[in-house]
Amino acid sequence: MVNELKNKEKKTILIVDDEKPIVDILVYNLQKEGYETLEANDGLAAIDIALDKKPDLILLDIMLPKLDGLAVCKKIRNSLNVPILMLTAKDEEIDKILGLELGADDYVTKPFSVRELMARIKANLRKAELSSKEVGKGNNGGKNRIIVGALMLDLDKFEVKVNEEVIELTIREFEVLRYLASQPGQVVTREVLLEKVWGYEYYGDIRTVDVTVRRIREKIESDTSDPKILITKRGVGYYIAEN
Burial class (CB in 10 A: 0-12, 13-18, 19+), 138: exposed
Q: In this predicted structure, what is the pLDDT of residue 7?
A: 45
225: which residues sit within 8 A by CB, 6+ positions away?
none
Residues 31 and 14 in one domain: yes
CA dihedral defined by 116, 77, 70, 64, rounded to 10 degrees? Answer: 80
Find out whether 109 and 89 touch, Cβ atoms under 8 Å: yes
Domain count, the chain: 2
Q: What is the per-residue pLDDT for 90?
A: 61
Residue 24 in this model has a pLDDT that exceeds 60 = yes
**Distance (Å, rounded) from C-alpha 207 to C-alpha 157?**
29
pLDDT number for residue 153: 93
State residue 92's pLDDT score: 61
Q: Using CA atoms, how far apart are residues 243 and 235, in angstroms rounded to an integer?
A: 23
Looking at 100, 116, 134, which one is the last position of a domain?
134
> How many whole angstroms separate alpha carbon 82 and alpha carbon 51?
11
Phi–psi pair at 40, nearest 5 degrees: -140, 140
Q: Considering the chain, what percentage of its residues have pLDDT values greater than 70?
A: 86
Cβ(243)–Cβ(149) under 8 Å? yes
Where do runs of H (alpha helix) occur along the chain?
2-9, 20-32, 43-53, 69-77, 93-101, 114-135, 171-181, 190-193, 207-220
Distance of alpha carbon 41 from alpha carbon 64, whole angstroms: 7
Judgement on whether residues 129 and 141 belong to the same structural domain of the protein: no
What are the phi and psi torsion angles at 201 (to 5°)? -90, 145
**Where is the domain boundary, 77, 105, 134?**
134
Q: For the segment 83-133, what is each residue's pLDDT rounded down to a tens digit?
A: 999 888 766 666 777 777 788 888 888 888 888 889 889 888 887 776 665
Q: How confident is the model at residue 59 (pLDDT cuts 50, 70, 90)?
A: very high
Least confident of 14-18, 199-203, 210-214: 199-203
Asked whether the bond before 65 is cis by omega within 30 degrees of 0, the reply is no
Domain interval for residue 112: 2-134
Domain check: are 102 and 186 in the same one? no
Q: Residue 223 maps to which CATH number?
A: 1.10.10.10
The reply to whether 116 and 157 lie within a common domain is no
Taking Cα atoms as reference points, which of 87, 78, 23, 19 lies closest to residue 47?
78
Q: What pTM did the predictor assign?
A: 0.70
165 vs 127 pLDDT, higher one: 165
Is pLDDT at 169 greater than 50 in this prediction? yes
Mean pLDDT of 37-66: 95
pLDDT tens digits, one per residue of 34-47: 999 999 999 999 99
**pLDDT score at 1:** 38
User: Is 155 found in the same domain as 75?
Assistant: no
141 and 130 part of one domain: no
In a shared domain, residues 159 and 106? no
Shared-domain flag, residues 227 and 124: no
**For residue 125, what pLDDT is reported?**
87
Q: Are residues 129 and 142 in the same domain?
A: no
Residues 126 and 164 in one domain: no
